Amino acid sequence: MPTTPAPAESRSTVRALLRLWPYVRPVRGRLATAAVIAILASCTGLVIPLVLKWIVDGPVADRNTSGVWLGALYLLLLGIAEAVLFGLRRWLVARPLAGVEAAMRADLYRHLQRLPIAFHDRWPSGQLLSRGTTDLMLLRMFLAFPLTFLLVNSVTILVGVLIMLAQDWTLGLVLLAPAVPVMVVCWLFEKRYSRVARQAQDQVGDLTTLVEESVLGIRIIKGFGRHRSQALAFRELSGTLRGTELAKARLLAGIFAAITTLPELAIGAALVLGTVQVADGSLSAGTLVAFLSTALALRWPVESIGFLLAMSQEAATATERYFEVMDAPPESDTASDAASDTTSAEGPLGRAEPGAGADGRSRRNGHDGLRFEGVRFRYPDAESGSVPVLDGIDLHIRSGETMALVGGTGSGKTTLTALVPRLHEVTAGRITLDGADITGMPREKLRSLVAVAFEEPTLFSAAVGENVLMGAADTADEADLSRALAVAQADFVHALPHGTETQVGEQGLSLSGGQRQRLALARAVVGNPRFLVLDDPLSALDVHTEALVEAALRRVLAGTTALVVAHRPSTVLLADRVALLSGGRVAAVGTHHELLRTNAEYAWLMSGRTETTERENR
């Protein structure tokens, strides 16, 4: 079941919405102009009751037909002016607000790319998708309508009340009587609706996560006949969301009933009182018509309060959800400008000239290759006193050497390989490349030196060639692509409908597991990386293809420094030396044949026998 990360500490609606200011500031001129135009349009509508008063007390009372037609012309012109002004307001805000939404979405996407892996491990993808789609749509709608009309309607109500008080202050006071009860109702509504709106938007994220997982895992669902359980989970989440939306509807119905009924009662009372005054002769019929017309013109600004408050609360919640992600600290670079300046030591594509280290210095005193020094790692969410995943790792892979990393399930092999490109940060100790601490390098520079291939290959909805060349510099060409495909024995791509231009589809699921793994391996070697980290890159290949890949890969490994996670003896034989990882520690280092003779755990791992069988054979 998808889980929603705990929301940040709730803040006031105004404080939350003020965080949008950096995005709104570039378009503040157009928004302010649109607001002024909307106020003029709304106030133009309030002139209509005054024209009606003139018509009733003037031409109608004097039986002047031409005056009535003149008044009708005035009313028509005022109506056209109001419509044109509101249309102009809409035109002014449409383009800039679309730009604000696009800028916020682009910032969110860029920030997601810079967030550490630990963040993505915690957050369901559906929650992130809903923040980049539904939440930003709510914010654009808020900026386009409620933000303006909260001001416009407030000014309209104020001007309308002043007009009514000027017409007859006693009737004006009657209409002002519901003001305090309406404000109390709005205050109660705001508190309750904010909570429910947050629940609804979080539940949309959970539902998005479930749908996404169901689509990506459709083979598992069909293969195990789990469509009923998935449908049940979907119905449960949909039912929960439906209940929350109904709760929102009940709150909206309550505030609409209150802010509609109370003013209507006041208008009714004013109508009775005004009629009595007209009958007594203390009030003209035109004044009563103007007064009631103004009151009716204010019905929409008053009744829309609930709708505008609801949209404002949803926008405030969307803003909080957006900045929950944007406030997450990104991966930090601690490198100085000097550390990032390696131009003098590099050849084309960021590869160092012979004899130069990752930091541009010549290799001396054995500080070459890849070195782990007292490395300890504990996941960020783990309790401080928990046992670390890796503890006291000391390992040296010499320049040009290939080291195989072997260990049982859960020994920390994959975690160790993820530390090299800084997908995770070490808790203690350090890792160096040619003597340079990787924490002293910009991540972009580090990841241009280190290429990786994971056991679970991930391909993107793009052409085969684009997926492979993602692992190379922008200067890579077709020759580099062909060489990488040949190393990975991925010549099958030439038999695809459009060759290397064939779209592989989402997650590359249109290809077999072995084909995806070979493309991932080609992506790792296409850029001739100085350091290569491979996490069991041949696990999905058949023995014949594996032998061909190993033969080609051996030539690539001869020119790089490589750390290869291996489970099979055939993969181990690619390495110059082997490190045995056990319980988060390096238990032994040596050649494959040395460890077979001297280390029982290694011999057991390579033989594939269970511990029980081994005891029985003894």
Range of the domain at 479: 366-379+386-617
Shared-domain flag, residues 399 and 278: no
Residue 429 sits in the same domain as residue 556: yes
Averaged pLDDT for residues 419-428: 89
351 lies in a domain? no
pLDDT for residue 365 is more than 60:
no
Q: Is residue 537 part of a domain?
A: yes
Q: 272: which 2 tokens?
A: 């009775």
Residue 339 in domain: no
Q: Please indicate, yes or no, whether residues 322 and 399 belong to a single structural domain of this protein.
A: no
- What is residue 4's predicted lDDT score, i.e. its pLDDT? 53
Residue 181 pLDDT grade (very low, low, confident, very high; cuts 50, 70, 90): confident
Task: Name the domain count of the chain.
Answer: 2
- Average pLDDT of the chain? 81
Q: What CATH number is attached to the domain comprising 129?
A: 1.20.1560.10
Q: Lowest mean pLDDT of 378-382, 462-466, 572-576, name the range.
A: 378-382
Strand order across the 531-535 sheet:
450-453, 531-535, 561-565, 402-407, 577-582, 585-590
Give the span between the Cα atoms of 308 and 18, in whole angstroms: 17
Q: Is the dihedral of CA 298, 300, 305, 308 positive or negative?
A: negative
CATH number at residue 438: 3.40.50.300
pLDDT, residue 327, reads: 92
**Same-domain status, 42 and 173:** yes
pLDDT digits (tens, 9 = 90+) for 403-412: 999 988 888 8
Task: Give the pair of three-digit tokens for residue 67.
Answer: 């005056």
Residues 511 and 374 in one domain: yes
pLDDT band of residue 334 (cuts 50, 70, 90) is low
54 and 128 fall within a common domain? yes
Supply the pLDDT for residue 468.
86
Digit-coded pLDDT (tens) for 31-58: 888 888 888 888 888 888 877 778 777 7
Both 295 and 370 in a single domain? Answer: no
| Range scoring the smallest mean pLDDT among 62-66, 138-142, 247-251, 487-491 | 62-66
184 and 311 together in one domain: yes
pLDDT classification of 382: cutoffs 50, 70, 90: confident
Would you say residue 28 lies in a domain?
A: yes
Residue 355 lies in a domain: no
Please report the pLDDT score of residue 293 as a whole number: 81
370 with 295, same domain? no
Confidence of residue 540 (pLDDT cuts 50, 70, 90): low
Say whether both 371 and 240 belong to one domain. no
Question: Which positions ≥6 away from 73 have C-beta within 8 Å?
Answer: none
DSSP secondary-structure letter at 4? P
Of 138, 139, 172, 140, the C-alpha closest to 157 is: 172
Maximum average pLDDT range among 267-276, 332-341, 494-503, 583-592: 583-592
**256 and 395 share one domain:** no
Higher pLDDT, 396 or 286: 396
478 domain-assigned: yes
Tens-digit pLDDT profile for residues 104-117: 999 999 999 888 88
Percent of the chain with pLDDT over 90: 11
Claim to verify: residue 311 and residue 401 sit in the same structural domain: no
CA 556 to chain centre: 38
Q: Radius of gyration over alpha carbons of the chain, in Å?
A: 35
Q: pLDDT, tens digit, for every residue of 250-304? A: 888 888 788 788 888 888 888 888 888 888 877 778 788 888 888 888 888 887 8
pLDDT in tens, 184-224: 888 888 778 888 888 888 888 888 888 887 877 777 777 77
Confirm whether 246 is domain-assigned: yes
- Residue 196 domain flag: yes
